[in-house]
Structure 1
């Protein structure tokens, strides 16, 4: 462990296009899983700093709340608690985080935070970890330690950056295929935006409901996997157009929205109705659903957004994954 340190990490949020729901262990352990996603130019920043003897508390934590505690077991933030336990850090430390976008918006912020915190903590320990290793550890912490009912696509998307096909094998291993068709990616994002639904939503209840209905959802999940597989093959071969992408996205969304009655609500339906008559547009709710952002691409979506005065977020795909942007030892 370094004696004196001040370290800040920067970790991208993500957009998931295809395969959501196939990255949970109760599915991929049976049939394998596949997700197509990208890191975006919105970030979570995590700072860790050594505390000297003049601070009374051992752990000072600043996130949406402030905690000052002496023992790890008394830390309320479950991710911070489990990351400190996993990395076996017992020295006095200050941890702070800020984000470009709030959590509970469907952009993978909790996983970005977990990855970014681990990145900074291992740097403080002077212990080298690849971003693949960080993604694996972050998955273990969120799923096994914190017991969040989530899959493990977000940890890899945020840790690695770029536009990827992420394969989840039945034995639990993960294989990444980066998409190098920058022309397609640039074209896609030039015709897309994120529409804010105006609601923040915790994913746990929706994902728990999906798991409860697994047998009923199995047919839809298999087809979601099939669509992701077909899209991945065409994207790799660079034999894929934006129109093909939109058609596949709409088919996948139709299947996803039926995985749980909690994915949609009156507010989201009212927004979607504005785009339904524009047959050239495709859309999907990001994350588990119930709120957050709606991804819209193609058609006359810009005029619809302007006419209805929707709040939007313009983003782009980025190549860099989690990284240290400041360090002082």
Structure 2
């Protein structure tokens, strides 16, 4: 007990622990325990085990910080932390309860697709460089999902279920030089130049090249994950601009600006485009109007994909003609009218305006529609739709139709009989969402069999 008392006076815990011949802790003694034993007639030369408390309170490394704090707040001064073999890991007290060491984290994100109603073509830079453009769109409940984990080396691993392929490289420069189908992701990496190795996993709820702004959605989700590892996070405008930079400037795919802003900002928005700045106006539409509009819209897959870059390149050439620029200007005016109709809850007129938007859009380029797509649209009109439009640049992908309530079943049956797939959806009020998770809370390493 003499040695134990000396150790108690020299350490900051005020206790000593006793162990068995295997190193397992089997008792705890304080200076009070020693003095009590001495008052009972004991000697300082007795072993400390003679006064050690065998029923002391102890915890494991898995004990939550909350539980430790509660015990320390309830008359307990010291708590030994023991492993599964009851060997000492550390001792915690009111004065010595270390903050948990920083754990490795991974980032996750999801970004929604958009459906566009009017103003298409006016979000192209070569149009609004001379006269302002305006579009109206919203996001819906189909997403690209991304997961990003930082590595301790420079290696890069990218896995895409949408492409059905993976990319592996020893460093960033090697990843950027590889050939294959990862052009968009390589363009994003070129734009942001990450200085660490990582693993990136991607999958989407919708097919690529479907007219839903998928490339911008993928870009947004990826950028959202990388943004989680920045101290000075990009704001929403900067995220949209980076997504545009990657696809348009680095990858060289022609197109407009609305897709990037729509998926990052989310919800119903009226967007105006000018050379000095792009402005996103959130629309405050009555909840009942939104519910009724949601029930009145049908989204269906035509079963064919499109190359939006080719169509936008064709539009760029056609835009030199005065009659095409007049059509786009009419589309801009229509988007203002559609905005006002939604704000006033005049949905029947909005449905007819969708038809007007489609009739204008299909005249912008010969690549936007074809005989099959025209026949699909005409068949929908004959079976109850008031209007609709092919989403995105055109040429394939998804049709969006507006149908009054008592014709919806008829239109759905017709579309399915034609071989089209009706895609359920809900309006999505939020845009890009990104968050981080401690790896220890939701990750286990599994052996591959």
Q: TM-score, normalised by structure 1?
A: 0.92
Q: 2-side partners of 1:186 and 1:29: how far apart?
A: 37
| Structure 1 residue aligned with 2:257 | 152
Match of 1:314 among 417, 424, 430: 424
Deviation at 1:250, TM superposition (A): 1.1
User: Does 2:275 align with 1:170?
Assistant: yes
Q: Are residues 162 and 326 of structure 1, via their aligned partners in 2, closer, same or farther at CA, if it must alter by over 3 Å?
A: same
Cα distance, 1:154 vs structure 2: 0.4
> 1:5 touches 1:124 (CA, 8 Å); kept in 2?
no
Native 8 Å contact 2:103 2:438 kept in 1: no
- Aligned-residue Cα RMSD (Å) equals 2.0
- Residue 42 (str. 1) matches residue 142 (str. 2): yes
CA distance in 1, matches of 2:107, 2:184: 18
Is the contact between residue 197 and residue 267 of structure 1 (CA under 8 Å) also seen in structure 2?
no
Q: Do 1:158 and 1:321's aligned partners in 2 also have CA atoms closer than 8 Å?
A: yes
Contact 2:296–2:403 (Cα < 8 Å) also in 1: yes
Give the match's secondary structure for 1:115. helix
Q: Which residue of 2 aligns with 1:95?
A: 200
Q: How far apart are 1:101 and its partner, in Å?
A: 0.4
**Equivalent residue of 1:287, what SS?**
coil
Bigger mean CA deviation after superposition, 103-112 or 135-144: 135-144
Q: Does 1:251 align with 2:348?
A: no
What SS does structure 1 have at the residue aligned with 2:351? Answer: helix
Distance in 2 between residues matched to 1:58 and 1:110, nearest whole Å: 25
2:168 is aligned with 1:68? yes
1:173-322 equivalent positions in 2, closer than 5 A: 173-181=277-285, 182-216=287-321, 217-235=324-342, 238-278=343-383, 281-299=386-404, 300-309=407-416, 310-322=420-432
1:274–1:304 CA contact under 8 A, matched in 2: no
Secondary structure of the 2:167 match is: strand
2:236–2:264 contact (8 Å) kept in structure 1: yes
Q: 1:255/1:307 Cα in 2 relative to 1: closer, same or farther (>3 Å)?
A: closer
Rate the CA distance shift 1:187–1:59 in 2: closer, same or farther, 3 A.
same
Structure 2: gaps spanning 5 or more residues: 1-101, 440-449
- The higher relative CO (CA closer than 8 Å, separation ≥ 6) is in 1
Equivalent residue for 2:133, pick from 33, 50, 75: 33
Match of 1:58 among 132, 148, 155: 155
Q: Tell me the distance in 2 between the aligned counterparts of 1:127 and 1:75.
A: 30
SS state at 2:344 partner = coil
Say which one has the larger Rg: 2
Question: What is the TM-score of this pair, normalised by structure 2?
Answer: 0.68
The equivalent position to 1:122 in structure 2, one of 217, 221, 227, is: 227
Pairwise CA distance, 1:318: 1.2
1:128 is displaced (CA, Å) by: 1.3
| Contiguous gaps of at least 5 residues in structure 1 | none
Aligned length: 322
